[in-house]
């Protein structure tokens, strides 16, 4: 089946990559596919990039490597040359057939944002539809927020088995809202502010999250069950419990692991999988960041029994 959006394999073909680059996908706004793809080639095939299918969508690109004297094309014509600097963000309108000449190594993150996702943000914010993003060719933006989100998602791209769906949903939603506000001029309309979650909603959301320690549930699934928009649920949940859903889930995994570690002789590798972690290494990193010591040290401290688990 042909992929419909400019991410993953389709973006790899555009950049003449031999293998499909890693991508993370979410469907948190009007069921629209949002995605982030990491593209890198230290020995690229020289020539003009491919052409992406024209669609009402945008690419937001965070450059991770300098690309001096970049020749930029739109609508089948060479427009200009510009120096591209690492850490800079560029926006591309896919209706304009953006292309560039590949003549040196490159490394970038590309965020795919379809029009329906932008409309979803406006609708959930009670705002007017954003007509266009600021996609001036050759103009880069020093955007600290996109750099921060990009760094967080880069970890998930390199360890996809450790990136739970709630985390991907949360980060891509945050990025989309930021882009629409910063580069689309989104202005929320004056009106009554929606409140937080009712106690029964908090209870129900927590129960659903706990029922899936592996993190396969999406924000959209849980929000729909509470008859809330994804953005409102995400904000209200954080207000109610003090952290976003994906962070709350990590704490529940750690709590589950602590209970399992009370079972004498149960290997940490088995505990990791049972508590929803990808593997023992993932378990150790998350547990240590939350608790302050490794699982093996915590187990010895709380049980008084020496062990061989690392």
Three-state DSSP string of 100-159: EEECCCEEEEEEEEEHHHHHHHHHHCCECCCCCCCCCCCCCECCHHHHHHHHHHHHHHHC
Residue 161 pLDDT: 84
At 307, the pLDDT band (50, 70, 90 cuts) reads very low
CA 283/CA 290 separation, integer angstroms: 11
Query: What is the pTM for the complete model shown?
Result: 0.81
Compute φ and ψ for 100, nearest 5 degrees.
-155, 160
Q: Which residue has the higher pLDDT, 108 or 5?
A: 108
| Assigned domain for 270 exists | no
Looking at the chain, the whole-number percentage of residues with pLDDT higher than 90 is: 52
Task: Name the domain count of the chain.
Answer: 2
At 164, the pLDDT band (50, 70, 90 cuts) reads confident
Quick one: which of 281, 276, 271, 237 has its CA closest to 253?
276
Q: Which residue has the higher pLDDT, 36 or 186?
A: 36
Residue 309 has pLDDT above 70, yes or no: no
* 196 within 8 A of 240, measured Cβ to Cβ: yes
Length of the chain in terms of residues written: 310
For the chain, the first-to-last Cα distance in angstroms comes to 44
For 244-285, give the DSSP string: -HHHHHHHHHHHHHHHHTTSTT--HHHHHHHTT-SSHHHHHH
Residue 146 has pLDDT above 50, yes or no: yes
Which residues, in sequence order, are CB contacts of 228 under 8 Å at separation 6+? 201, 236
* 58 and 116, same domain (yes or no): yes
At 310, the pLDDT band (50, 70, 90 cuts) reads very low
* 90 and 229, same domain (yes or no): no
User: The domain containing residue 221 runs over which residues?
Assistant: 199-247
Query: Which residues on adjacent β-strands are paired with residue 57?
Result: 114
The arithmetic mean of pLDDT across residues 143-155, rounded, is 94
Q: What is the CATH number of the domain that holds 107?
A: 2.60.120.10
| Assigned domain for 278 exists | no
Average pLDDT, the chain: 88
* 152 and 209, same domain (yes or no): no
* 166 and 19, same domain (yes or no): yes
* 169 and 223, same domain (yes or no): no
Q: What is the CATH number of the domain that holds 203?
A: 1.10.10.60
| Assigned domain for 193 exists | no
Strands 57-63 and 67-74: unpaired
Residue 182 pLDDT: 92
Quick one: which of 39, 50, 49, 6 has its CA closest to 106?
39
Tokens of 288: 């240590």
């Amino acid at each position: 089946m042909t992929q419909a959006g400019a991410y993953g394999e389709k973006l790899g073909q555009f950049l003449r990559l031999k293998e499909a680059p890693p991508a993370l996908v979410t469907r948190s706004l009007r069921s629209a596919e949002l995605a982030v793809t990491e593209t890198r080639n230290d020995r690229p095939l020289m020539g003009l990039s491919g052409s992406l299918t024209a669609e009402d969508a945008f690419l937001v690109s965070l450059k991770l490597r300098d690309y001096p004297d970049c020749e930029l094309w739109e609508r089948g014509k060479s427009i200009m040359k510009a120096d591209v600097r690492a850490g800079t963000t560029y926006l591309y309108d896919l209706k304009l057939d953006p292309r560039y000449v590949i003549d040196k190594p490159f490394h970038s993150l590309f965020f795919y944002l379809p029009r329906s996702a932008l409309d979803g943000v406006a609708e959930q914010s009670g705002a007017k539809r954003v007509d266009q993003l600021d996609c001036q060719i050759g103009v880069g933006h020093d955007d600290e927020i996109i750099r921060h989100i990009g760094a967080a998602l880069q970890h998930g791209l390199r360890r996809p088995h450790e990136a739970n769906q709630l985390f991907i949903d949360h980060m891509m939603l945050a990025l989309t809202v930021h882009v629409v506000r910063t580069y689309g001029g989104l202005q929320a309309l004056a009106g009554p502010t929606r409140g937080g979650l009712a106690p029964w909603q908090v209870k129900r959301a927590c129960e659903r999250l706990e029922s899936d320690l592996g993190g396969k549930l999406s924000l959209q699934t849980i929000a729909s069950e509470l008859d809330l928009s994804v953005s409102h649920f995400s904000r209200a949940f954080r207000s109610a419990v003090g952290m976003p859903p994906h962070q709350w889930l990590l704490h529940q995994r750690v709590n589950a692991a602590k209970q399992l570690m009370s079972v004498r002789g149960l290997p940490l590798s088995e505990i990791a999988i049972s508590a929803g972690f990808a593997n023992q290494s993932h378990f150790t990193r998350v547990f240590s960041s939350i608790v302050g010591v490794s699982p093996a040290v915590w187990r010895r401290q709380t049980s008084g029994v020496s062990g061989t688990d690392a």
